[in-house]
Amino acid sequence: MATVQVSEAEKVYIMHGVRDDLRVDGRGCEDYRHMEIETDVVSNTDGSAKVTLGHTAILVGIKAEIRKPRPMVPDEGYLEFFVDCSANATPEFEGRGGEELGTELSNTLYKVFNNRNSIDLRTLCISPGEHCWVLYVDVLLLQCDGNLFDAISVAVKAALFNTRISKVHISEDEEGGKEIELSDDPYDCMRLNVENVPCIVTLCKVGHRHVVDATLLEKACSVASLLISVTHRGTVTCVRKVGGGSLDPESIFEMMETGKRVGKALHAPLMEVLQKEESLGNKRQKVGFLG
Ordered mean pLDDT values, 10 residues apiece, the chain (291 residues):
77 91 91 92 91 93 93 92 82 73 90 85 89 94 89 95 88 73 79 92 92 90 92 90 88 93 93 88 64 53
Q: Which pLDDT score, from 0 to 100, does residue 173 have?
A: 72
* 3-class secondary-structure state, position 72: coil
Residue 176 gets which letter from DSSP? S
SS3 129: coil
Query: What is the model's pLDDT at position 6?
Result: 82
So what's the pLDDT on residue 102? 87
> Residues with Cβ < 8 Å from 235, sequence gap 6 or more?
none
What does the pLDDT read at residue 281?
Answer: 72
pLDDT at 116: 78
pTM over 0.85: yes
pLDDT at position 118: 87
Residue 136 has phi, psi (to 5 degrees) of -90, 110
